[in-house]
Structures are given as C-alpha cells and as structure tokens.
Amino acid sequence: MRKPIIAGNWKMNKTAAEAEKLIDELKPLVKKSKPEVVVCVPYTDLAATKKAIEGSNIKLGAQNVAWADSGAFTGEISAEMLKEIGVEYVIIGHSERRTYFGETDESVNLRLHQALKCGLKPIVCVGETLFEREKKRTNKVLKRQVLEGFKDVTDFTDIVIAYEPVWAIGTGKTATAEDANKTIGYIRNLVKKTWGADTAKNLRIQYGGSMKPSNAKELMAMRNIDGGLIGGASLKAEDFAAIVNYKD
C-alpha cells in the first residue's frame, strides 16, 4: 500500500517569523493525519520551521538542491547544508524553476542524483504546458521528462513524483480527477515499462495544480493519485489541514 503524501509548496512566501506562526496554527490541525505531511519552505525559513515542527508529525522540505557537493555556485544551496538543518524532502524540477530559471531535464537529473546520494527524498515535478496539452503532446512531454529526468536512477524507494499540469498551477483550474488519474496512470505505466512492475506499484505520484479543500477528496479518491503538492492552499493553516484531512 502506498501511503498518501500531502506536501505544501510555500514557494517564495512567508518570512521565518510568519513560518513559525503558520506551523503553530497547523500543528494541532494535522496531528491525527493519515497521510504523510510535509512543508517545503523557502531556505531562509528552514531553521525556524524545523524548530517549530519539533515533536509534531510535520516533515521538513526544501524547494531545490544544488547538484554539486560544494564550490563556486553562487546562490545555490547544497544537500549537506539542507541535511544539517534537518531537511528530509526536496522539490526538484518545479515548473516555475523550469520556466523562469532555465531548469532542464538534464539539470533535474543532476539534482536528483545528488539528492539521492545525500539521502534527501526528492519530490520531482513533471507536467505539460497548456500549449503542449492543446497540441496533444502531454504524453510525449511527460515521457521525455520522466526518461531524461530519471536517467540512471535505479532505486525509486525514496522518490515521489508530482504530476503538475502547468496550466493548472495557481490558475484555479484543476485537471478533472479522471483526467489527472489517467495521466498519472500513463506515468505509472511508463515507469513500469522502464523500471519494472514493483517500482511502479510502490512509487507515490502526487497531483498538483490548484488542489484545495473543495477538490481534494475527489482527487485523492482516484486509484493512481497518492497525494498532492499544494501551492496557494498551503499558505493558510485551515485550508492545508482540510486537504490533509480530506477523509474526515
């Protein structure tokens, strides 16, 4: 059985003081959660968030990781730095990184290998743009992102994939649950063909893109959907908790 995982992606929101406040509000609301709960916070919030989540079931995530151990990479943060703070998860290849910061399948692959080497659990994002969707290229794009992004990966135990159609991120538009399930099914099948049935069966694949309290239950009811990567709705404790507690 795959344990569902609901992860908040705070993006570039919340100062350290605001992070502490949000976590304090969130803790009591998710303490009985059935899914795994993760918050992926800005680098400058990591230490304060780590302290704030102490003794709770909330896990700490970052939003990127450098592919090198250390050195002349201005602006980058290494896996060792993240590990020392107590980071467990790391988002890699988010579409905003791909769109605004030149992230490619190749750089995603490098970061992914580094995360795995250093014992961080990667949440790797894939997804098509509206243009690609309208041109009926969704599966082709996903195939490329998965085969190149996960090149030379042999062990998927600690990996989570987040399927995030770019047109659904922050737009209020959600893929229908059936649609998301079907596309995630395509990804799972591709993993099965490439890495084997066991890997595909155990791999957790989240949906992301305008997931909110009102649609979480329907999305989570889908056979292939094992969780969510939540942007906007993770910035309010009540909304994020309502998604985490979608079953209640």
Distance of CA 23 to the CA centre of its chain: 19
Q: Does residue 122 interact with ligand PGA by CB under 6 A?
A: no
Site string for ligand PGA, 204-223 (x = CB under 6 A): ----xxxx------------
Q: Identify the H or E element spanning 39.
A: strand 36-40
> Catalytic residue among 36, 94, 96, 132, which?
94
CB of 234 to ligand PGA, least distance (A): 7
User: How many residues of this chain interact with ligand PGA, rule: CB under 6 A?
Assistant: 13
> What span, in angstroms and rounded, lies between the C-alpha atoms of 54 and 170?
30
Q: Are 35 and 5 in contact (CB under 8 A)?
A: yes
Q: Does residue 230 interact with ligand PGA by CB under 6 A?
A: yes
CB of 163 to ligand PGA, least distance (A): 11
- How far from each other are the two terminal CA atoms of the chain, in whole angstroms? 20
Cβ closest to ligand PGA, residue 28 vs residue 170:
170
Cβ closest to ligand PGA, residue 14 vs residue 78:
14
Please report the DSSP string for 59-121 in residue order: EEEES---SSSSSS-TT---HHHHHHHT--EEEES-HHHHHHS---HHHHHHHHHHHHHTT-E
Is 164 one of the annotated active-site residues of the chain?
A: yes
Residues serving a catalytic function are 94, 164
- Residues making contact with ligand PGA (CB under 6 A): 9, 164, 169-170, 208-211, 229-233
